[in-house]
Structure 1
């Protein structure tokens, strides 16, 4: 996998969800802060985003997509002056399914809203650099054809669920998330001199990151990674640390443990196999390193992360 895909996979957990909502007349919702990442797509009508980091409120037009990567509290309304009511969500953060309605009328506002479950304890640092809210405008010649295509496909599936929709919708939601993050990166990379948007744009550092992510189990050395980057050992180490925020081998260890945690959380891969994929020939050495990183043994972490595990 490439680094951006890996970063998304590292943070995503569970199953994303979305809903199609039609509103007529005055309406306003207040969304509390959440552990996940939310999004709103306005496909018809008009709306206003009310966010602590948006002064004045932001007017949304058809084709606008808002990603709230950090689950910050916010409001959504037909008018900034409309009183807000708490958005009624289920325990997992999803919205109750509304009675099916046909095509929205000319006076209706049509929204696609949803959320992603996120493992913030091991979120990739690339994710941490995303803004409090990301607005991507795809209507009226706004560009971003890939985002617009994902939204159109998602809207069609939600408007007219058919056999296979339960498999298609989560996949489209993942596609939408990756396109939104890619859009942010493509916009930010020209203006950043440090951080992950700059790291992925730097040919030398990007080459080393790609090597680490392609084969995290390999016993990489700083000199080998520097060779991949086309730099001397010292020059590469300085450049990598400046852009990524940690030395090359420290990042390698962090990524190995993140990969191991994802394997333990998502399937029943034997511990010896997980250890090997994390670059450890000894299951004992892996367990020791894993406990140092996570505070619990691998087996205990797997049991806690199991969907069947009782909540505490």
Structure 2
């Protein structure tokens, strides 16, 4: 179903550009003494459905209990029954089936979760903004939409209905989105587009830019949308987002074009025209400045991937 005239949503736009998707949903059970070392390249999101364990990453040691959720972004971590145990590679627990892991004979601890992957070409839009470790405690998760999603994830895993694996993957992706919403509701503390969404005037400008990426926005236009003077808006936007408003609009325009080039279905001239450029040469120059390669070079590098 396509929602007609849906409101502009920068977070959804970025998730689309980076192609955020659940790479694999998994179930893991463990008993006895155990410690496993994981080395994710992007994001892992898991829910402790029963029992408890420890998580160790980058100097942080924390106990996880039933109902807790945790997200780890691009950094090695260890799950263990005892934080002092030496860990072994997690692959040893998933030797027979990459979606079903087991350590020990008795399932004292059970987890459901999976990996969320991004397009490597544009993952810099989101991955650096995510915390290395984000734990959502059971009480907090249960009081939010996460509680319903976790229950559905559990139901799909145990129900074994046709399409369950796809449903689990989709639920993992929704849990990831909900974690971003809850964690960054008050801003990131890091100048970025995500931080700008917590500032209403800046958010209005971001929504306008994302709603019409081919438009070559001027500072005065965006300041009027934000409801600020030109100078106040320019300073506020740069402080929140980390770059000037017109510079951000240009970068976003090129990222949309880059996604189209990587898709490989449109000619470079068509992409240039849809990005609002009257000549291919002007588009080539702007694209190289923002993306570090010509449109043709970018397409060759990322189309196969």
| 1:128-143 pair list within 5 angstroms | 128-137=128-137, 139-140=138-139, 143=142
Are the aligned partners of 2:56 and 2:83 in contact in 1 as well (CA < 8 Å)? yes
Residue 284 and residue 2 in structure 1: after superposition, are their counterparts in 2 closer, same or farther (change >3 A)? same
Are 2:81 and 1:78 equivalent residues in the alignment?
A: yes
Are 2:248 and 1:244 equivalent residues in the alignment?
A: no
Are 2:200 and 1:203 equivalent residues in the alignment?
A: yes
Are the aligned partners of 2:22 and 2:173 in contact in 1 as well (CA < 8 Å)? no
Residue 183 and residue 140 in structure 1: after superposition, are their counterparts in 2 closer, same or farther (change >3 A)? closer
| 1:80-159 pair list within 5 angstroms | 80-88=83-91, 96-98=98-100, 108-119=108-119, 122-123=122-123, 125=125, 127-137=127-137, 139-140=138-139, 143-159=142-158
| 1:166-205 pair list within 5 angstroms | 166-186=165-185, 188-189=186-187, 192=189, 196=193, 198-205=195-202
TM-score, normalised by the number of residues in structure 1:
0.82
Separation in 1, partners of 2:264, 2:162: 27
Separation in 1, partners of 2:191, 2:281: 37
Are 2:14 and 1:7 equivalent residues in the alignment?
A: yes
How far residue 21 of structure 1 moved from its aligned partner, in angstroms, is 1.3
How far residue 27 of structure 1 moved from its aligned partner, in angstroms, is 1.9
How far residue 225 of structure 1 moved from its aligned partner, in angstroms, is 0.2
- CA deviations over 1:17-47 (Å, ceiling 9, x no partner): 1211122222211112x43111221111101
Give the one of 64, 70, 84 matched to 2:68.
64
How far residue 82 of structure 1 moved from its aligned partner, in angstroms, is 2.7
Residue 297 and residue 178 in structure 1: after superposition, are their counterparts in 2 closer, same or farther (change >3 A)? same
Residue 143 and residue 35 in structure 1: after superposition, are their counterparts in 2 closer, same or farther (change >3 A)? same
What is the total number of aligned residue pairs between the two structures? Answer: 293
How far residue 176 of structure 1 moved from its aligned partner, in angstroms, is 1.4
Residue 98 and residue 298 in structure 1: after superposition, are their counterparts in 2 closer, same or farther (change >3 A)? same
How far residue 198 of structure 1 moved from its aligned partner, in angstroms, is 4.4
- CA deviations over 1:152-204 (Å, ceiling 9, x no partner): 22232233443223442332222111111001012x43x95965554212111
Residue 243 and residue 87 in structure 1: after superposition, are their counterparts in 2 closer, same or farther (change >3 A)? same
Separation in 2, partners of 1:274, 1:179: 33
Please state whether the residue corresponding to 1:148 is helix, strand or coil. helix
Separation in 2, partners of 1:243, 1:222: 16
**Equivalent in the alignment of 1:43:** 49
Are 2:288 and 1:286 equivalent residues in the alignment?
A: no
Separation in 2, partners of 1:294, 1:125: 12
Residue 251 and residue 140 in structure 1: after superposition, are their counterparts in 2 closer, same or farther (change >3 A)? closer
Unmatched segments (≥5 aa) in structure 2: 1-7
**Equivalent in the alignment of 1:215:** 212
Please state whether the residue corresponding to 2:45 is helix, strand or coil. strand
How far residue 59 of structure 1 moved from its aligned partner, in angstroms, is 0.6
How far residue 276 of structure 1 moved from its aligned partner, in angstroms, is 3.4
Are the aligned partners of 2:113 and 2:172 in contact in 1 as well (CA < 8 Å)? no
**Equivalent in the alignment of 1:163:** 162
**Equivalent in the alignment of 2:3:** none
Are the aligned partners of 1:126 and 1:196 in contact in 2 as well (CA < 8 Å)? no
Separation in 1, partners of 2:42, 2:191: 26
Give the one of 28, 50, 54 matched to 1:21.
28
